[in-house]
Amino acid sequence: MTVIKTTLLTGSLLTLLAGCGLNSQTMTGPNRQWLAGDSHIHSYYSPGYDTKTTPPTPIVGGPDGDAQYTIGKNAEMAVKYGLNWMVITDHGGPNHSKLNMERAYPELQQARTRFPQLLSFVGMELNMPAMDHHTLMIPRSEKESQTLAEIESRWDAREAFPVDASRNTEDKALQTINYIKAMDGTKPILMANHPARSATALGTYGSDTPHELRNNNDAAPNVYVGFEGAPGHQAGALNPDGSLKAGAGNRGAYGNAPTYGGFDQMTARLGGLWDSMLGEGRRFWIVATSDSHVHYTEGGADFWPGEYQKTYVKAEPSYDDILDGLRSGRTFVTSGDLISELDVTASTGPSSAATGGTLKLGGAKDVTVTIRLRDPAGKNFHNDAPEVKRVDLIVGRVTGKVASAQYDSDTNPTTTVERRLSAADWKREGEIVTMTYTLKNVSADMYVRVRGTNTDQQEPAADPKGENPWADLWFYSNPVFIEQ
């Protein structure tokens, strides 16, 4: 292997209760529901640059811009395609923090007024020092725009002009994370985007390496909380009329090493990098996004926010609880609206834990895993009605953190598919599908997670160039941990 609203009071109350020994898993608010969102969306404030001026002048919109749509347009489409929340994550270059503060933020506020049903977070796609792009998601507050400007101006690797190579080192990435960790109040979160897009083969990583992900998570586990399990740019094989494009490349704009069922290899490979991090007991979560720049009907490679992939958060409809849900792993991801709810619960006697939580056993016991999902009866945005064919219950041992010399490890040999569950194993009542499975005499620390598909693939296969994304759909849960 080589080396990839409700109000602001809610957040304060969560912090206070956490200080009393309660956490987001014990505080199961009565209004928590599955809320769909997208944490990686670009507007025309992801600009091009006129390099003939000093400093370079940002080019907003038009053919020379990196992305084409207003923030309002993104919000409109997010609502159209069923999202409850979104994050605008523009990236930039020299002095982009000024553009974000003076132009993008006022436009985001206008979008909030136009679409109050959509919780629109301030954020950006940070040019993470020494790594690929990262989603930076800012807590809702009166000073949210200043918080973003403060982080971007100090730490974005491409903010300075002239270029400052000292801003683009692994040590600078750790300084960035420690700076965010030390900020007052509710902390922002960071998630690595398309982490294996620059990989050249399975297990041969590029800009994002296993040791960087581990080091960053070590530095601030409540800030550096995960990565894109499924990247955006999934419509590259589609012509504007929706037909398949001859000579199309890989899904996700993964130029060399492909995705697997539309998922990044770091997530999709059973017993791979994600499982190796979970096997250390790391609370490290996945999301799925659009990375929307330009829609495929207008010559781009993208779906609208929510059109193809969604990240669902179990949360009250408030900024604070959605952010808390992402930080705490109360999430699952799906493509093609294959499912719209997914509850995974591990229980023994009166004790239970749900996705992102931890079940404490206190000795060897049988553990019952209950999986409840909603398989929508209606059609998705491709006018298909995909059905779940199989659900996989995946388990892995938790053995503790590896030594620093092994921080580029990317395998967990204990990870297995405990049971493949099909229609014969579950009970269906309308759209609701329920199944249970008992893990016998659990005597060691472990985690359980779930994935499912509309395909017949036993394991997600490497996606061929030009694949129709609507034919190869998957969902993944984040794990439940089980501890002695």
Q: Which domain holds residue 156?
A: 9-483
Name residue 135's beta-bridge partners: 125, 191
Q: What is the mean pLDDT of residues 255-268?
A: 97
Domain presence at residue 281: yes
Q: What is the reported pLDDT for 23?
A: 39
- Alpha-carbon distance of 250 to 167, in angstroms, equals 32
User: What number is the average pLDDT over the span 322-337?
Assistant: 98
Residue 2, in any domain of the structure: no
The string of pLDDT tens digits covering residues 413-430 is 999 999 999 999 999 999
Burial 105-134 (b: 16+ CB within 10 A, else e): bebbeebbeebeebbbbbbbbbbbbbbbbb
According to the model, what pLDDT value does residue 13 have?
Answer: 36
Count: domains in the chain: 1
- Is 272 domain-assigned? yes
> Average model confidence (pLDDT) for the chain?
93
CA 174/CA 155 separation, integer angstroms: 10
pLDDT per residue as tens digits for the range 149-165: 999 999 999 999 999 99
Strands 119-121 and 85-88: parallel
Taking only the tens place, the pLDDT of each residue in 88-112 is 999 989 999 999 999 999 999 999 9
Please give the structure tokens belonging to residue 219.
Answer: 């530095």
Q: What percent of the chain has pLDDT over 70?
A: 94
Sort 476 into a burial class: Cβ within 10 Å, 0-12 / 13-18 / 19+.
buried
Q: The tokens of 373 are what?
A: 């999902």
Q: What's the chain's Rg over C-alpha atoms?
A: 21
pLDDT of 260 above 70: yes
Asked if residue 16 has pLDDT above 60, the reply is: no
- pTM of the complete model: 0.93
The band of 62, judged by pLDDT with boundaries at 50, 70 and 90, is confident
Quote the pLDDT of residue 28. 52
pLDDT confidence tier of residue 266, bands split at 50, 70 and 90: very high
- CB within 8 Å of 475: residues ≥ 6 apart: 332, 333, 334, 335, 338, 339, 342, 451, 452, 453
pLDDT higher than 60, residue 483: yes
- Per DSSP (E only), the strands in 263-356 are 285-288, 309-315, 331-335, 341-348, 351-354
pLDDT tens digits along 369-412: 999 999 999 999 999 999 999 999 999 999 999 999 999 999 99
Complete DSSP assignment for 146-161: HHHHHHHHHH-TT-SS
Kindly report, residue by residue over 295-328, the tens digit of the pLDDT.
999 999 999 999 999 999 999 999 999 999 999 9
Q: Rounded to an integer, what distance in angstroms lies between the CA atom of residue 126 and that of residue 143?
A: 19
Total length of the chain = 484
* Residues pairing with 302 in the sheet: 295
The pLDDT assigned to 30 comes to 65
How far apart are alpha carbons 232 and 46 in whole angstroms? Answer: 16
Asked if the bond preceding 479 is cis, omega within 30° of 0, the reply is: no
Q: Tokens at residue 171, please?
A: 């040590």
Helix residue spans in 286-372 (DSSP H): 319-328
CATH of the domain at 473: 3.20.20.140
3-state secondary structure (DSSP) of residue 78: helix
Model pLDDT, residue 21: 32
What is the dihedral sign for C-alpha 40, 216, 222, 180?
A: negative
Residue 258 has pLDDT above 50, yes or no: yes
Contact call for residues 480 and 328 (beta carbons, < 8 A):
no
Average pLDDT over residues 1-11: 32
Whether 4 maps to a domain, the answer reads no
Q: How far is CA 402 from CA 276, 412, 443, in A?
A: 9, 11, 21
Give me the pLDDT at residue 9, please.
34
pLDDT of residue 61: 86
460: cis peptide before it, omega within 30°?
A: no
3 inside domain:
no
